[in-house]
Structure 1
Amino acid sequence: MIFSDIEQEMGDYHIYSSLEDVSDKYKYSHRDFDFYRRLLDLAAKGQDLSLMKITKQAAGSAWDLDKWKFLPITHKVYTEQPNVKWYIFLEADSYMAWTNVLELLSLYDPDEPWYLGSTHFFGDVAFAHGGMGYFISNRAMRDLHRIYDGKHINEWEKRISEGCCGDVELAAILSEAGVNITSVPGLYGESITWFEWDQGRWCEPALSWHHVGSHDVEALWQFESKLLTQEVSHYVYKDLFHKLVEPHLAHTREDWDNMSRDRIMTGSSGLHPDEGRRYKLKTSVGDMDEEEQEDALRDLGDEEKELALDEGFYMKKMRWGELSESEQEDAWNELSDLEKEAHTSLGVCKAACEDWDECIQFFYMTDRCHLHRTVRLGHYMHASAGSEDGDDDEEPVRTTSGWMMDRVRDLKDRVGTCKSVPEWMKEYAENELTKHDE
């Protein structure tokens, strides 16, 4: 089933309205539905909806509208298809590796209340991120619809009107029905260009990608189709890396941003070292009251908290902009000579990467050097014409990315051979089922 803001026909496909079942008191008066009402008006006049101007304000309105869609869509798919084993939810700019997904779902009983996804938190609500895709079993849907009545719908819609996000509210509603999220791996919130190719994920099966463009979809589809012709049904991130990423890596690549972000050195004057690094600052807790201590130590582990309270201080991690001028000077003096000069040229930037054992790639543009400890592919970056003040006589600003190819090879060698996807998934699911039964 395909859903959009309004009901329509597209070729051989019927497009369902994702908002049809929202109460009229919200649909025709609430400010979140301003964009929706404009769409309805244009459709009623027979206008081409693709010509509707999407201003920045309209885009914000469309985002506000999005949170209302999750519950009605969930209800609609169940009423239309009440007997299917699994309900798989996927957004229009996402891509799903179906053979891997079906292998995963085969390990979970649809007659048990499963809500599977990539776990995120909003306050105390654990929810499956909608853009990455999520899976709800038939039993979970039945449990939800046992409490799907007028009284609950009124409460839920009021909460949605005051809330931020549809996937968060859906998780809270499922929890009321006794259905809580179980996390599954392989669901990723960005495209392949953003993915961090590191040793920890190398042998995991890929399930989904988000924010994919037509080029990404075509590349993934061609990759999967070729595998199927070789009678290979499943794949892991390592396979994607070999075919779709590694061929595009090089010692240097001009007009390219490989999205190196771990350590950032900028500026030709003043104190501008490593904006991305978190600096440790000795911070006293002895003068704090109990509430202040609890807030300050919130992100520490139990042992770190106990040590901080015993010794009266802890090492607080702070970004560059949060440091005082004297603290910035101390941090600057701790940098190596290469780090201090990394922004001055491509050669020095590359040397700084070579000097840092963890660095596997770098990015350079005038007065800016970025280093990164995992492999990212990145994307083409057009040379900007002229200077920022509009002087077109100046040379275009060019960017260069590069990878430490020997370290990339070392990464591949360290990983070795991966387990088969069915074996990997079976072990993972068995561990989760054990936790679920406890």
Structure 2
Amino acid sequence: MVRLTPTRLLCAAVFLCLFAVTSFVSSSLFGERGYDVLHERPSPARSRPSSPDVPFGEECSPFKAGVMEDTTVVLKMGSGEVAAQLPAYLNRLGRCKQDLLLFSDREAELNGFDIVDALANLRPEYRYNNPDFDIYDRIQQANTTEEKSNEGWRLDRYKFLPMVELAAHLRPESRWFVFIELDTYVNWDNMYRFLLNFNPMTPYYFGSPVWPTGRTVFAHGGSGFVLSRGALNKLLARGRMFAENHKFPGTHLFGKDVSKECCGDEILAQVLKESGVPIKGYWPMFNGERPTTVHFGWEQWCEAILTLHHLGEDDFNALQRWEQARKHPSRPLIFEELFSFIETIIADQVDDWSNMSEDVTYNKGNPAAISFDTCFNACLKDTKCVQYEHFGDTCRLSRTIRLGHQQPADGDRKWTSGWMMERIKSFKARYSPCQGAHFVHPNP
């Protein structure tokens, strides 16, 4: 029998303390993220006046109820997208009677909506000897927006800073600004529920974080990002250091040499951080995938959906029809429910299809890459594998569930995808049903 001396008791206590600390740190760094529950019908926030009940689940419900009158939706696009994509988007958004601000690289008007040229007020020194603005000049000289240069995307990075500054100026009474693009889906019921948790006069910058090595973490623009009035006040205060004329916002780039930077959303994050407004990351609620490319797994299951990205017109229409048929439309939309949007298509084997598996790759020379059957066997041996695809002399495995897309044969290369139906069934049995919509804690 072991004698419990004071020394041994002290050692045991120290060990238990170290174990608890290590477990906490490991859980914080590598475990599941903390979350709160996003209530189906949240209490009114102190920062908003009392409002009537919101008819959640109906089209445009928070706008119909008048509870998002303090929110401006800012839509950024290129001039060539105005005729091609904007009409359909306005048909969806316009029905909601949202407060919309439209920004492009050319002034225009469409169906009663004014489109603001985000670059019109930039000072001449930003354009001097800058070939990017040769493209801008050609766009201004074209007779129609359809004639814009194919290189118009090069102007996109210049739009972010003046667009944000102009939005603050054009909507002085707005308290929240939701920045999106033409291929961004927003679940407005969830967005309203989400924003109720925050005071808009506090500086906030929300989005799906991108973590570039050695550089500022920023919110991915296409996934949508949100700025509070408090954040804009901070940014405008910093802008006065660079503005020659305070009455004309959108005239400067906050001391940034944008021509040498990659992306406008990253540059905006740099300026916000310098203004004292770092990002609060809320992935996967702000999400860069469309429903058919979402990685359904334990990280994206019970979490509430705020945005999705890369949706085409067919995607928007299909998702709208699906939403109209939801069994419980007033409940917050979560990934578990969205999974039913794609679940009926997955099967043991689907030919001419890529399910975009990417976690493990076996190339020529590995037995797993010989055929679809050997690829299946490789997935079977990997206990975490839930799907796989084979094409040519390549086998790929995935540990999350993804639908993917049709992939016609390319010569002798034929794509075939498979899903481990029993493992998917077991996954659902383990994680479903969700007990409420998870509102994840921010990271960073």
- Give the structure-2-normalised TM-score: 0.71
The answer to whether structure 1 residue 364 and structure 2 residue 403 are counterparts is no
Residue deviations 1:219-257 (CA, integer Å, cap 9, x gap): 222233333x85424210000002x11111000001100
The answer to whether structure 1 residue 247 and structure 2 residue 344 are counterparts is yes
- Check whether the contact 2:387–2:419 (CA below 8 A) recurs between aligned residues: yes
The percentage of aligned residue pairs carrying the same residue is 33
Alignment partner of 2:380 out of 347, 354, 360: 354
CA distance in 2, matches of 1:249, 1:155: 48
Residue 150 of structure 1: CA displacement? 6.0
Residue deviations 1:10-69 (CA, integer Å, cap 9, x gap): 122221112122212323642222221111111xxxx23324462xxx2xxx33311110
1:264 match: secondary structure? strand
Q: Which runs of 5+ in 2 are unaligned?
A: 1-100, 244-250
1:30 match: secondary structure? coil
For 1:163, give the aligned amino acid.
E
CA distance in 1, matches of 2:429, 2:175: 41
Q: 1:161 to 1:343 in 2, by over 3 A?
A: closer
- What does residue 237 of structure 2 align with? 146
- Check whether the contact 1:99–1:233 (CA below 8 A) recurs between aligned residues: no
- What does residue 107 of structure 1 align with? 197
- Check whether the contact 2:205–2:231 (CA below 8 A) recurs between aligned residues: yes
When the two structures are aligned, how many residues end up with a matched partner? Answer: 335
Alignment partner of 1:180 out of 262, 273, 278: 278
Residue deviations 1:332-365 (CA, integer Å, cap 9, x gap): xxxxxxxx32222222221221222111111112
- What does residue 425 of structure 2 align with? 409
For 1:12, give the aligned amino acid.
G
Aligned pairs (5 A) from 1:253-272 = 253-267=350-364, 272=365
Residue deviations 1:48-107 (CA, integer Å, cap 9, x gap): 3324462xxx2xxx3331111001110111111111120010012211111111111110
- What does residue 161 of structure 1 align with? 259
- Runs of 4+ in structure 1 displaced over 4 angstroms? 152-155
Residue 419 of structure 1: CA displacement? 2.7
CA distance in 2, matches of 1:121, 1:380: 31
Q: 1:22 to 1:198 in 2, by over 3 A?
A: same
CA distance in 2, matches of 1:49, 1:17: 13
- Bigger RCO (CA 8 Å, 6+ sep): 2
- What does residue 205 of structure 1 align with? 304
More helix by share: 1
2:294 match: secondary structure? coil
Aligned pairs (5 A) from 1:4-403 = 4-27=104-127, 29-42=129-142, 47-52=143-148, 54=150, 58=151, 62-122=152-212, 123-149=214-240, 151=242, 156-185=254-283, 186-227=285-326, 230-242=328-340, 244-267=341-364, 272=365, 340-384=366-410, 386=411, 396-403=412-419
1:9 match: secondary structure? strand
- Check whether the contact 2:178–2:227 (CA below 8 A) recurs between aligned residues: yes
- Check whether the contact 1:28–1:37 (CA below 8 A) recurs between aligned residues: no
Q: 1:409 to 1:4 in 2, by over 3 A?
A: same
Q: 1:39 to 1:246 in 2, by over 3 A?
A: same
For 2:264, give the aligned amino acid.
G
Deviates more, 1:350-359 or 1:129-138: 350-359
For 2:311, give the aligned amino acid.
V
Deviates more, 1:180-189 or 1:195-204: 180-189
Residue 158 of structure 1: CA displacement? 4.0
For 2:360, give the aligned amino acid.
R
- Give the structure-1-normalised TM-score: 0.71
Residue deviations 1:191-229 (CA, integer Å, cap 9, x gap): 2222111122210011111222122212222233333x8
- What does residue 44 of structure 2 align with? none
CA distance in 2, matches of 1:415, 1:230: 19
For 2:353, give the aligned amino acid.
W
- Check whether the contact 1:117–1:183 (CA below 8 A) recurs between aligned residues: yes
CA distance in 1, matches of 2:392, 2:236: 59
For 2:103, give the aligned amino acid.
F
1:414 match: secondary structure? helix
